[in-house]
Chain A
């Protein structure tokens, strides 16, 4: 009983930490100046935040751990990938990034 109580507490703590990262990611989405920076803020925070929420769930409900592990694996493969495709689509649609250096535009004629 002591062990399960400890795991519950630890799980809740990890869960809240994940939620905090998700909230910071949301703040990043609002504050960042252009689409690329916003994607950056969104991707990192949602990945780690969701992973921590899933780890917290696994600690509270250990019998779900294997399935949660699989979800984490799929998440780590697909979450960054979707962001990369969004960023690429934005660039191909002609959205200029903020900042002075844009090597992707300079090489654009070779890429199409």
Chain B
């Protein structure tokens, strides 16, 4: 989902930081190291050392360009919202699958598809990615295109083609948590 305008904004928003001294690089380093240890499932000296070296080199060299974590709000409220988001997301995922299962097993196949337009207030690129992904995995909706503040959603059983009603129906539930997580 390319959006050059906002992506540029997202990359220039954090102040320029150099090497490991910056918070952006430190977060990247911590993430890379955590994934390395989890993938190895081992805490041996060789694993830790090579993990530290490689994560250090990557975050020192690419810290400013891989700043995908920099928008996350690490305050307790943000972490709490992240857990609420995951819970809500899993509930919606199960609902989506049950409704889809019911739909494809009905002989009449009662669908009324349309591509509707909805609005989002999120500006952080990762928040927008999470929103688009969450929408795709919830009942009957699929993100097709994102441009500026608008998302274009394919809806299998369309309830409303009105911009505001569709936004309320599709986006509002997730945006509530993402606003706190990336506030």
Q: Could you list which residues of chain A lie within 8 angstroms of chain B, going by C-beta atoms?
A: 21, 24-25, 27-28, 31-34, 36-37, 39-41, 43-45, 47-49, 66-67, 69-70, 76-77, 80-81, 83-85, 87-88, 91, 97-105, 107, 110-111
Q: A101 and B116: CB pair below 8 A?
A: yes
Q: In the complex, A107 Cα to B116 Cα: how many Å?
A: 11
Listed stretches B20-28, B53-61, B96-104, B167-175; interface member: B96-104
Whose C-beta in chain A lies nearest to the C-beta of B1?
Answer: A84
Known contacts A66-B41, A85-B1, A107-B150; can you find 6 more A-B pairs with CB under 8 A?
Answer: A27-B105, A34-B113, A48-B97, A70-B35, A77-B129, A84-B1
Q: A67 and B115: CB pair below 8 A?
A: no
Residue in contact with B137 in the complex, picked from A47, A67, A85, A104, CB distance below 8 Å: A47
- The reply on B144 being an interface residue by CB < 8 A is yes
Question: If the complex has contacts A44-B93, A103-B161, are A39 and B104 also in contact, measured as CB distance less than 8 A?
Answer: no
- The reply on B181 being an interface residue by CB < 8 A is no
Q: In the complex, A70 Cα to B37 Cα: how many Å?
A: 11
B: contact size bracket:
35 or more
Q: In the complex, A70 Cα to B39 Cα: how many Å?
A: 8
Question: If the complex has contacts A70-B39, A80-B132, A80-B133, are A40 and B142 also in contact, measured as CB distance less than 8 A?
Answer: yes
Residues of A within 8 A of B7 (CB): none
Residues of B within 8 A of A103 (CB): 114-117, 152, 161
Q: A40 and B140: CB pair below 8 A?
A: yes
Q: In the complex, A88 Cα to B67 Cα: how many Å?
A: 26
Q: In the complex, A105 Cα to B125 Cα: how many Å?
A: 24
Contact digits for B154-174, partner A, Cβ 8 Å, 1 yes 0 no:
101010010000000000000
Tell me the number of A-to-B contacts counted with CB atoms below 8 Å.
137
Q: Separation in Å of the A111 CB from the closest CB of chain B?
A: 6
- The reply on B145 being an interface residue by CB < 8 A is yes
Residues of B within 8 A of A21 (CB): 97, 101
Q: In the complex, A60 Cα to B93 Cα: how many Å?
A: 23
Q: B111 and A37: CB pair below 8 A?
A: yes
Q: A97 and B113: CB pair below 8 A?
A: yes
Whose C-beta in chain A lies nearest to the C-beta of B144?
Answer: A87
Q: A80 and B100: CB pair below 8 A?
A: no
Residues of A within 8 A of B161 (CB): 101, 103
> Which 9 A-B pairs give the minimum distances between C-beta atoms?
A80-B136, A101-B114, A99-B113, A103-B117, A80-B133, A28-B104, A104-B152, A99-B114, A101-B161
Q: In the complex, A97 Cα to B113 Cα: how many Å?
A: 8
